[in-house]
Amino acid sequence: MEFRTRIVVRKRNKRAYIAYTGLVIAASSLLLVFIPNMEDYIPYVFGVGIAVVIIGAVIARGDVRNYGLSPDELIVSHAGITLGPMHYPLTMITEMDFNVEAFNGLYVNDGAMVSGSKSDGMTNDLSFRAGGSKIKCGFYLDSQQHVQQLGLVFHEFYTRHIPFVERNRSRRTYLFQFLQGRELEEFKARYGYK
């Protein structure tokens, strides 16, 4: 069994820098509070900043994210991990850590926004050590079926006692579930862990 997906990489959309500049202008309007006799200009500077954000977003065609999908693939299996052209056999991998947050289209409410939003599936990452160096990459989850495919690889890892950690942000998960107490003990017993 193997899991295949695209790698998430940082990207530069030069058009989006206009929108970022607008954010800086809007935020700098708060500094005018500390300059004597400048309080009257705060709404104008803030308004200009917001206008530049909107103009920048339109020029960037709405794509103001600083990450995107690479043409390279991530492949995870019991044989190892392949990142683009590089293959790392499991025998040389240590400290394998999967952070699985959300797939594309999943409604998430992490407290950052009042109403929540739909995930773009690009907030997941994998890190591990191989050959003395730490390797980290983001990866894309397209759908719930894609997550289930990754779950089959995790199941195989648990069955073969391949050491790895799966988590959702800082919370440890087991086949994508938060387990405690008796449930965790039953899970460990099912896979032969003590």
Mean pLDDT of the chain: 86
Tokens representing 156? 């195989």
Contact criterion met (CB below 8 Å) for 25 and 72 = no
pLDDT of residue 34: 83
pLDDT of residue 60: 64
Tokens representing 78? 């019991």
Task: List, for residues 88-133, the tens digit of each pLDDT value.
Answer: 999 999 999 999 999 988 887 766 555 567 888 888 999 999 988 9
CATH architecture, domain 2-8+66-190: Roll (2.30)
Task: List, for residues 17-56, the tens digit of each pLDDT value.
Answer: 777 788 788 888 888 878 888 878 888 888 888 888 888 7
Using CA atoms, how far residue 81 sits from 121, 153, 154, in Å, is: 20, 12, 13
pLDDT of residue 111: 60
pLDDT of residue 54: 83
Half-sphere exposure of 185 (CA within 13 A, CB side): 2
The domains of the chain are located at: 2-8+66-190, 13-59
Contact criterion met (CB below 8 Å) for 97 and 128 = yes
Contact criterion met (CB below 8 Å) for 105 and 113 = no
Distance in angstroms (rounded) separating the CA atoms of residues 184 and 173: 10
pLDDT of residue 35: 83
Distance in angstroms (rounded) separating the CA atoms of residues 184 and 83: 32
Cα angle for residues 8, 11, 17 (degrees, 5° grid): 140
pLDDT of residue 130: 94
Tokens representing 192? 């032969």
In this prediction, residue 141 has a pLDDT band, given cuts at 50, 70 and 90, of very high
